Amino acid sequence: MSSVSPSHPPAPPRISAVPSPEGRFGQFGGSYVPETLVTALTQLSDTYQRIQRDDSFWGHLADLQRHYVGRPTPLYHAGRLTDHARALSRSQDRGANIWLKREDLAHTGAHKINNTLGQGLLTVRMGKKRIIAETGAGQHGVASATAAAHLGLACDVYMGAEDVRRQRLNVIRMKILGANVIEVDSGSRTLKDATNEAMREWMGSVEHTHYIIGSVVGPHPFPMIVRDFQSVIGQETKAQCLRTFQRLPDAVVACVGGGSNAAGMFYPFVDEHRVKLIGVEAGGHSSQPGQHAASLTLGSPGILHGSLSYVLQDQFGQTAPVHSCSAGLDYPGVGPEHAYWHQTGRVAYTAVTDKEALDAFTLLARAEGIIPALESAHAVAHALDAAAQMPRDAHLVICLSGRGDKDVDEAARLLAQREQPTR
């Protein structure tokens, strides 16, 4: 590696005493896996433990964040969006300043690269030569393929056959980057099934393969590791707020699929009790079963993909079908730390419908010249309402998790549907 500055950045600070050594966030989390995976998870935990005080690891990662990813990403004052919130408030003294943390400007167009580069470096540390990943919309697949190309690792990406069809452009990107895309034909042929398949494959290949989970989900230590790699978002935001308006923000809003951009944004603020933290889930068409993906708002405790958290499930504990206009939020589970924050009340969770997200998508494009990912548009939609209720001198930060280039076909289709007279 080329240029590590002499002032090595330390490992991300441990803020709260979670998870426990067994990977518990309160009652949530843990590691519900077949015995074949226990060795691999222990090896991962040990390696992660070992690099905590390893300046060369964090120095290498910081170097990549700066020169390869383009960090720090800007904190942008969205003036015209702020005006819009003020107009909504219909009050002289309401309407907080809205700021966007621009993860859409990170390399590959979303926050996911923060995690895949970190886990890619861990893969190298473990002496493994191959990574596998699951992907829904293809964003995590692209970020994994990118990290693999940069680090010279082989890469197989599991993707539901239905998603392969819907996300053709990302499939092409992964292939150009040198990854194999493996179509999964079981179940609903979407993200949940791709995750099952990737976990199954990993059991037979753990010797030489690392499985890069794409969000703060899965068995311990994944939720902790992914949170730590993503918490660069919140650390930068904190420093940028102090520099720009000389204090911490009053509220921070992020969308929640598996929960990685939100966890990365929230974690450095968890002990700052005056900062209100708000997670926004996919409300889909409605709160009817199968019509949304709001695991915390509408689900119940259960085990999915190796950990105990909130799950959308039927009366027999089978995962329920989910729907969201944004493929990245279309997941029936959520990270266990979010379940813990939900239970303790530290973070407030709410849901925004497809329609509200699509309105916010168009509004941000027209008001600021920024086309957000449909996932991020969920956060924007709720943030506008929240800002309208807050005092005028307050500051609200939105985690703009990704850019919307991948969504323009879907958004155009949904907007065209609106023009049709209904029935």
Determine if 110 is a binding residue for ligand PLP (CB under 6 A). Answer: yes
* Among residues 95, 141, 328, 336, the one that binds ligand PLP under rule CB under 6 A: 328
User: Can you tell me whether residue 220 is helix, strand or coil?
Assistant: coil
Q: Using alpha carbons only, how large is the chain's radius of gyration in Å?
A: 20
Known catalytic membership, residue 355 = no
The least CB distance from residue 349 to ligand PLP, in Å, is 12
70's CB contacts (< 8 A; 6+ apart) are: 105, 106, 107
What letters, b where the CB count within 10 A reaches 16 and e where it falls short, cover 25-35?
A: bbebbbbebee
Distance CA 397, CA 40 (A): 38
User: Can you tell me whether residue 233 is helix, strand or coil?
Assistant: helix
Distance CA 223, CA 99 (A): 27
- Token readout for 382 is 């709720």
* Among residues 78, 179, 198, 255, the one that binds ligand PLP under rule CB under 6 A: 255
Catalytic residue among 45, 89, 103, 112: 112
Distance CA 51, CA 301 (A): 33
* Among residues 29, 223, 249, 259, the one that binds ligand PLP under rule CB under 6 A: 259
Determine if 402 is a binding residue for ligand PLP (CB under 6 A). Answer: yes
Judged by CB under 6 A, which stretch of 62-70, 126-134, 150-158, 373-381 contacts ligand PLP? 373-381
- Token readout for 223 is 């939720």
Distance CA 75, CA 289 (A): 37
Beta carbon nearer to ligand PLP, 199 or 255: 255
The least CB distance from residue 248 to ligand PLP, in Å, is 22
Known catalytic membership, residue 401 = yes
The least CB distance from residue 78 to ligand PLP, in Å, is 17
Judged by CB under 6 A, which stretch of 82-90, 122-130, 254-262, 294-302 contacts ligand PLP? 254-262
* Among residues 65, 97, 215, 353, the one that binds ligand PLP under rule CB under 6 A: 215
- Residue whose token pair is 């049709």: 420
- Residue whose token pair is 């991962």: 44
Residue type, 326: S
Known catalytic membership, residue 144 = no
Q: With contact defined as beta carbons under 8 Å apart, do 96 and 85 qualify? A: yes
Catalytic residue among 134, 337, 356, 368: 134
Beta carbon nearer to ligand PLP, 84 or 102: 102
Judged by CB under 6 A, which stretch of 24-32, 90-98, 252-260, 339-347 contacts ligand PLP? 252-260
Report the residue number whose CB is nearest to ligand PLP: 402
Catalytic residue positions, numbered: 112, 134, 401
Q: Which residues bind ligand PLP (CB under 6 A)?
A: 110, 112, 139, 215, 255-262, 328-329, 373, 375-376, 401-402
